Amino acid sequence: MEREVSRIKEEFVVKLSMINNREDIEKLKIEYLGRKGKITLLLRKLGTLSLEERPKIGQLLNQTKREIEERLESRIEEIEKTERDKRLKEEGIDITLPGKRLDRGDLHPLSLVLRQVEEIFFSLGFKLEEGPEVELDYYNFEALNIPKDHPARDDQDSFYINKEILLRTHTSPVEIRVMEKQQPPIRMIALGKCYRRDATDSTHSPMFHQIEGLAVDENITFGDLKGVLTFFVQRMFGEERKVRFRPGYFPFTEPSAEVDVSCLLCQGKGCKACGYSGWLEIMGAGMTDPAVFKMVGYDAEKYTGFAFGMGAERIAMLRYGIDDIRLFFENDLRFLKQF
């Protein structure tokens, strides 16, 4: 029995030295230590031995079994190390090569403009207010003194959900909601998305961002409006920018004005971008109509106010020299990386 154990052990060592993969290791383990393995069968024969031989052979078999297990584990580790070294060599990194440049996210040009707008008006004591994008017809039109037959209320111009609910066409409804909740003095701006049934082209989009402003207090004049907007334009576009106010019409302001800024490209001399006029329109503004004050319960004899509204895309296009509004929404990294 001892010679048989010694023979099996030597045979195992030879076979193990010729194995180079884990699959063959597993087969070898079953051959010697499995339920029908050579060592297992010898252990089952212990009962046929004499009482004197049984402890000695039993100890020898158990020791041989442990050695086989240890040699198998050791060989597995060697094979794994060899495979790992080979894989690392094949996947080796040449540290002399330049690294790959990873793209880093940054603020969208519209976000940059909106943040600067906030900073400018915050410095003047204005407060940021918000309102819903899905709006009631009352706040979007009626409370702003926009008559029932006004073209802006047609289905062809606005996205109606039903007769009383629509996607807001401007941020002016926020003014009404704020005035309903608090008494003057008020100095607020509202920034947000608006929706209109416009065909998409280089200057129009069915979804756009608008910047709204409102100030209400005693003794506010048109001169205050001009001062605030001139300050804004020069902070946004540069101290050399000139501002022009032209008579205009809006249902919720009276008197109303169109606000122009001297062309940034030709410095007011006249070019194709400004239609050779030297001016570019950037917003509408005016003194709040007393009819609007009446809708929110303000005393129009005591309070006056001004309001203004401008498109964020328009401001960004003028500031950065962008000639197509669609670029803001196409997510083209070649465009966005410029900012």
Give me the sign of the Cα torsion angle 128, 134, 137, 138.
Answer: negative
Q: Are residues 58 and 160 in the same domain?
A: no
The pLDDT of residue 321 is: 85
CATH number at residue 316: 3.30.930.10
Residue 259, pLDDT above cutoff 70: yes
For 49-63, 151-165, 295-309, which range has the lowest pLDDT when averaged over its residues?
49-63
Residue 273 confidence class, pLDDT cut points 50, 70, 90: low
By the 8 A CB rule, do 173 and 135 touch?
A: yes
pLDDT > 70: percent of the chain: 99
Q: Are residues 71 and 143 in the same domain?
A: no
C-alpha distances (whole Å) from 22 to each of 35, 39, 64 are: 20, 21, 21
- Structural domain span for residue 26: 2-90
User: What is the rounded distance in angstroms from the CA atom of residue 202 to the CA atom of residue 183?
Assistant: 41
Residue 20, pLDDT above cutoff 90: no
Residue 96 covered by a domain: no
Residue 106, pLDDT above cutoff 80: yes
At 194-253, the pLDDT tens digits run 999 988 888 889 999 999 999 999 999 999 999 999 999 999 998 888 899 999 999 999
By the 8 A CB rule, do 307 and 285 touch?
A: yes
Q: Give the pairing type, strands 253-262 and 243-250.
A: antiparallel
Residue 103 covered by a domain: no
Q: Are residues 163 and 85 in the same domain?
A: no
> What is the three-class DSSP state of 309?
strand
Q: What is the mean pLDDT of residues 185-198?
A: 94
Task: Provide the token pair at 249.
Answer: 């019409």
Q: Are residues 120 and 75 in the same domain?
A: no
Residue 152 covered by a domain: yes
Task: Provide the token pair at 235.
Answer: 């902070």
The pLDDT of residue 243 is: 92
Residue 146, pLDDT above cutoff 80: yes
